[in-house]
Amino acid sequence: MLDLGPTFVKIGQVLSTRPDLVPQVYAEEFVTLQDAIPAGPYREMIPALAEDIGYHSYDDFDPEPIAGGSLAQVYRATYEGEQVVVKVRRPGIKDLIETDLRIISRLTPLALLIAPDRLQFSLQNMANDFDRIILEELDFEREARMMNEIQSNFADDDNETVHIPHVYHNVSSERVLTMEYVGGTKITDVDRLKANGHDPETVAQTVADAYFTMGLEHGVYHGDPHPGNLAVDDEGRIVLYDFGMSGRFTPEMQSSVVNLYLAAVNRNVEAIIDELVSLGALDPDADRVAVGHVIELIIEDLEGSESVNWQQIIDVVIGMLHDFPFRLPPDVMLVIRVGSIGEGVLRQLDPSFDFLAAAQIFLREHGFLQRAARMKLAEARSDIEASLWALLRLPTKLERELDAQEQERTAITRGIVQNQRRETRSIGYAILATGAIVSSGLVLPVNHIYAVVGIVVAFSFVILFLHSSSLQPR
């Protein structure tokens, strides 16, 4: 992956979060790609700075990078007397990635052709999502907008426990992002946190609450909580760095996540399947009976464990659903990534930290459980009201139905009587016509005039007979 270049490094990084596509041992190996990119020479970064910002816009610029990745490098600088951090996109990286993406798009149909059926659903969706994911990470203007939105959300909540670096828009562009420099103690440096007077257990709870708040209340969240992107400043606030991998939840997705949690707590297998489909994790055409059986096994397996953590749940669920058209959409995968990485980080602060228990406490304290219960009660009340209204209208409907049946029977009876009358009348006309013809034949030798009159009368009876017959139902 390293030899193939930035696009494939990013594919490897994405696969590190996709245990539904690769075995866990591969996912763990791909994680090392996060820190395996060597820094590029500073002179390669100058064109982007000069063209987008103006090389002399900064009071001072340290050419030694303080961090680097497959897409960008990060430097320290001074701007208008303030300490800042400058993130610069690697030169030519966008053209290179767009070329690689075109190649990948041509190879995707072949990959789908030879892939096992159980992987085709996930592969197709990953291929569809990957372009957007990597192009979003290349767009530093988008990252700046996400930072501003998250910062504004916490400010609106009067939250003083989270600090999001300020963005300097005058010296930022699609390729360059200039941010406030915020120092702090690395989140996993427990000894230094204690020396600075910060309680690690309190820090762990604050980090968890911050992520629950972003995901379930704000709908916009930081998606890369590894130790290098989290710190604690001197005031005890949690500092978040690097918003290139950030996500957004729609209200519908937020509701589905809460409902999925409630369905799991209540062991409601049908509701779990409904929410998996709603989240886009399960193909709507999947065999619900078979999936339900597997979910029941998952619940039994987890209930049999002495202790259950987030990563264990994810491993068991993905392992057992591997044979179904099951995939992890980008936003859901980011949530799983946040949970998995976050749980590991938080347990370094507090070895007894229970991520799932913290989630339950947050949902209860912020009214999500009550809100979901009210929604369920409202749905039940609506169903009951509809049933009662239908029950109240039943006598009227029944009476109308009986009346309609009675009218139908009356109409049928009337029709039978009328039909019998028509048949009797037709027979009578036929007899009279026959009689008139016979009589005409008998009087013909005696009187021609009477014979002609008899023939006319007979013909009239024939016409009446034919007319009467045509009125009878077929």
Domains in the chain, number: 3
Domain that holds residue 371: 251-379
Q: Are residues 134 and 1 in the same domain?
A: yes
Q: Are residues 22 and 107 in the same domain?
A: yes
The reported pLDDT for the residue numbered 441 is 61
Q: Are residues 295 and 364 in the same domain?
A: yes
Q: Are residues 301 and 425 in the same domain?
A: no
pLDDT bin (cut points 50, 70, 90) of residue 474 is very low
Q: Are residues 333 and 270 in the same domain?
A: yes
Most confident of 147-156, 384-393, 452-461: 147-156
Whole-structure pTM over 0.85, yes or no? no
pLDDT bin (cut points 50, 70, 90) of residue 297 is confident
Residue 81 lies in a domain: no
Final residue of a structural domain among 379, 409, 437: 379
Q: Are residues 431 and 348 in the same domain?
A: no
pLDDT 10s digits, 398-452: 556 656 666 666 665 565 656 655 555 556 555 655 665 666 565 555 555 655 5
pLDDT 10s digits, 157-185: 888 899 999 999 999 999 999 999 999 99
311 or 148, higher pLDDT: 148
Residue 449 lies in a domain: yes
The reported pLDDT for the residue numbered 347 is 87
Q: Are residues 301 and 369 in the same domain?
A: yes
pLDDT 10s digits, 349-391: 988 888 778 888 888 888 876 665 665 555 566 666 566 555 5
Q: What's the chain look like in SS3?
A: CCCCCHHHHHHHHHHCCCCCCCCHHHHHHHHHHHHCCCCCCHHHCHHHHHHHHCHHHCCEECCCCCEECCCEEEEEEEECCEEEEEEEECCCHHHHHHHHHHHHHHHHHHHHHHCCHHHHHHHHHHHHHHHHHHHHHHCHHHHHHHHHHHHHHHHHCCCCCEECCCECHHHCCCCEEEEECCCCEECCCHHHHHHCCCCHHHHHHHHHHHHHHHHHHHCEEECCCCHHHEEECCCCCEEECCCCCEEECCHHHHHHHHHHHHHHHCCCHHHHHHHHHHCCCECCCCCHHHHHHHHHHHHHHHHCCCCCCHHHHHHHHHHHCCCCCECCCHHHHHHHHHHHHHHHHHHHHCCCCCHHHHHHHHHHHCCHHHHHHHHHHHHHHHHHHHHHHHHHHHHHHHHHHHHHHHHHHHHHHHHHHHHHHHHHHHHHHHHHHHHHHHHHHHHCCCCHHHHHHHHHHHHHHHHHHHHHHHCCCC
Kindly report which listed range (131-140, 168-177, 236-245, 441-450) carries the lowest average pLDDT score: 441-450
pLDDT bin (cut points 50, 70, 90) of residue 204 is very high
